[in-house]
Amino acid sequence: MTMINHQPMLIRSLRCPELMHRMMERENVDSAQAARLDGGLAWLEAGTKCTFCRHAGMCRNWLAGSETRTTPANFCRNWEFFHSCAEPSSAHTKA
């Protein structure tokens, strides 16, 4: 029987929700509103997209301020979701 190394997936599972949380904070997302959309299914979908995202490094760099050539709209598959749940008083400019 071949052993499969699930460690990279486990690391992604633990890391990406943190990135999702940080992105939501940065973009002033109303998490209560986000959790209610589509009966909670939109929230689960966003979490799944983040867990399996191939751009976690770009996300991390953007959140750290070291990636200034792009906006989350260029790499984040959840950007539309975040944008739709942003607080109306958000001072951020949405792309």
Domain assignment of residue 11, yes or no: no
Domain assignment of residue 91, yes or no: yes
pLDDT tens-place string over residues 16-25: 588 999 999 9
pLDDT of residue 8: 58
Domains: count for the chain? 1
Domain assignment of residue 56, yes or no: yes
Domain holding 37, by residue range, is 27-95
Domain assignment of residue 13, yes or no: no
pLDDT tens-place string over residues 60-82: 999 999 888 888 999 999 999 99
Show the CA angle centred on residue 33, arms to residues 31 and 39, nearest 5°.
Answer: 110
Domain assignment of residue 7, yes or no: no
CA distance 24 to 95: 15
CB under 8 Å to 5, separation ≥6 — which residues?
Answer: none
Domain assignment of residue 48, yes or no: yes
pLDDT tens-place string over residues 4-63: 555 555 555 555 588 999 999 998 999 888 888 999 899 999 999 998 899 999 999 999
Domain assignment of residue 53, yes or no: yes
